[in-house]
A and B are shown apart, each in its own frame.
Chain A
């Protein structure tokens, strides 16, 4: 298995809703990442987990809450989002949190906040 699987592919949520994005990989990768991508822009790093521990939080608002239940799963819990949070959310993984490894990206969750 050489894929990163993200669910759901599309999500529409109200500003008072609570929802979660899920990411799964079975490549034995020990680093996992959440990125946010606005239209016509490059991906922006949000969080990095290394060996199931949060190692980088790029000053992301607390309405985004990451969780890494085990080495294969990564969640992003969403609460009280704003319309400007609408974007493509990408999950990625790599063998380790070390610069020489390329990342494997999932196909993303298209989030719309109404």
Chain B
């Protein structure tokens, strides 16, 4: 069965600092991987996705993620945090024997001035 694990339910950074949100996946087949962001009282917005093309994926709002098969990781990064980045971030996986999108437990990002 496929799954994703997000390390750290809460991450706090200062404005302008590097953002690193961790996601590790488990899959017996090449996975499709996604990062979504959810602002308070909103739906989820797709930040970026990996679908077996380039391993470094650039998304919206300055975010990017690198697929590392050897580490089974798909960590999300942003060089410089902005106050507006404060939100809940979900890593998700699909593919193989399931078309379902399976979410991690989420990481809440706080950005301090």
Interface size on B, residues (CB 8 A): 23
In angstroms, Cα B51 to Cα A98, docked, is 12
Among the interface residues B41, B101, B105, which one has the most CB atoms of the partner chain A within 10 A?
B101
Q: Answer whether residue A7 sits at the interface, using C-beta atoms and an 8 A cutoff.
A: no
Point out the residues of chain B lying under 8 angstroms from A108, CB to CB: 41-43
User: A61 at the A/B interface (Cβ < 8 Å)?
Assistant: no
* Contact A102 B49, CB 8 Å, known A42-B105, A56-B100, A97-B99: yes
A98-B99 contact given A107-B42, A108-B43, A110-B41, CB 8 Å threshold: yes
Question: Is A112 among interface residues, defined by CB-CB distance under 8 A?
Answer: no
B62 CB-CB contact with A under 8 Å: no
- Of B15-23, B64-72, B73-81, B88-96, the one touching chain A: B88-96
The residues of A that contact B96 with a CB separation of less than 8 Å are 99
From residue A6, how far is it (CB to closest CB) to chain B in Å? 8
Task: Flag if B44 contacts A43 (CB, 8 Å).
Answer: yes
User: Inside 8 A of A92's CB, which chain B residues have their CB?
Assistant: 43-44
**Closest approach, in angstroms, between the C-beta of A71 and any C-beta of chain B?**
18
Complex CA–CA separation, A109 to B17 (angstroms): 35
Contacts of B98 in A (CB 8 A): 99
Chain A residues in 8 Å Cβ range of B106:
40-42
Docked Cα-Cα span, A17 to B32, in Å, equals: 40
- Collect the chain A residues with CB atoms within 8 Å of residue B94's CB: 99-100
